[in-house]
Structure 1
Amino acid sequence: MSSFIGKYIARRFFQESVNNAFGTEDPYFEQVPMEDMQANKKKKSKRRRPPPPGISENDAKVLTKVKRRSYYLDMSLGICCCGLGIGWSAVIGIIPGIGDIIAAYLSYSVVQSASKIDGGLPTPLYSKMIGNVMIDFAFGLVPIVGDIVNVVYKANSRNSLLLEKHLREVGQKNLKASNANDVSQIIGGPST
Structure 2
Amino acid sequence: MGAMIGKLVVRKFFKESVNNAFGTEDPYFEEGPQAEVGRKKRVAKRRRPPPPGLSQNDTQVLTKVKRRAYHLDMYFGVCCCGMAIGWSGIIALIPGIGDLIAAYLSYCVVNAAGKIDGGMPGWLYTKMMTNVIIDFALGLVPLLGDVVDILYKANSRNALLLEKYLRERGQNNIAKAEYSKTK
Question: Is the pair's TM-score, using the shorter chain for normalization, greater than 0.5?
Answer: yes
Name 2:106's counterpart in structure 1: 107
Name 2:172's counterpart in structure 1: 173
Amino acid at match of 2:87: W
Please give the per-residue CA displacement for 1:6-48, whole angstroms capped at 9, x wherever unaligned. 32332233222211112210000011134xx58xxxx761100
| 2:7 corresponds to 1:20 | no
More helix per residue: 1
Higher CA-based Rg: 1
Q: Do the aligned partners of 1:78 and 1:86 also contact (CA within 8 Å) in 2? A: yes
Q: Cα RMSD between the aligned structures?
A: 1.6
CA-CA distance at 1:2 after TM superposition? 4.0
Please give the per-residue CA displacement for 1:70-115, whole angstroms capped at 9, x wherever unaligned. 0000000110234321100001011122000000000000000000
SS of the residue 2:30 aligns to: strand
Q: Do the aligned partners of 1:54 and 1:172 also contact (CA within 8 Å) in 2? A: yes
Question: Quick one: distance in 1 between partners of 2:149 and 2:182?
Answer: 49
Q: Trace 1:154-165 onto structure 2 (pairs within 5 A).
A: 154-165=153-164
Name 2:39's counterpart in structure 1: none
| 2:4 corresponds to 1:7 | no
SS of the residue 1:86 aligns to: coil
Amino acid at match of 2:144: V
Q: Do the aligned partners of 2:33 and 2:43 also contact (CA within 8 Å) in 1? A: no
Q: Do the aligned partners of 1:17 and 1:153 also contact (CA within 8 Å) in 2? A: no
Question: Quick one: distance in 1 between partners of 2:161 and 2:136?
Answer: 18
Q: Do the aligned partners of 2:23 and 2:151 also contact (CA within 8 Å) in 1? A: yes
State the identity as a percent: 64
Name 1:147's counterpart in structure 2: 146
Q: Do the aligned partners of 2:31 and 2:44 also contact (CA within 8 Å) in 1? A: yes
Unpaired runs of at least 5, structure 1: 185-192
SS of the residue 1:169 aligns to: helix
Name 1:81's counterpart in structure 2: 80
Question: Quick one: distance in 2 between partners of 1:89 and 1:23?
Answer: 14
Amino acid at match of 1:121: M
Unpaired runs of at least 5, structure 2: 37-41
Question: Quick one: distance in 2 between partners of 1:20 and 1:117?
Answer: 22
CA-CA distance at 1:3 after TM superposition? 3.0
Question: Quick one: distance in 2 between partners of 1:90 and 1:12?
Answer: 25
CA-CA distance at 1:67 after TM superposition? 0.3
Name 2:63's counterpart in structure 1: 64
Question: Quick one: distance in 1 between partners of 2:146 and 2:11?
Answer: 21
Q: Do the aligned partners of 2:50 and 2:59 also contact (CA within 8 Å) in 1? A: yes
User: How many equivalent pairs are there?
Assistant: 178
Question: Quick one: distance in 1 between partners of 2:137 and 2:62?
Answer: 26
| 2:32 corresponds to 1:32 | yes
Please give the per-residue CA displacement for 1:141-175, whole angstroms capped at 9, x wherever unaligned. 11111111111110000000000000000000000
Amino acid at match of 1:110: V
Q: Do the aligned partners of 1:23 and 1:84 also contact (CA within 8 Å) in 2? A: no
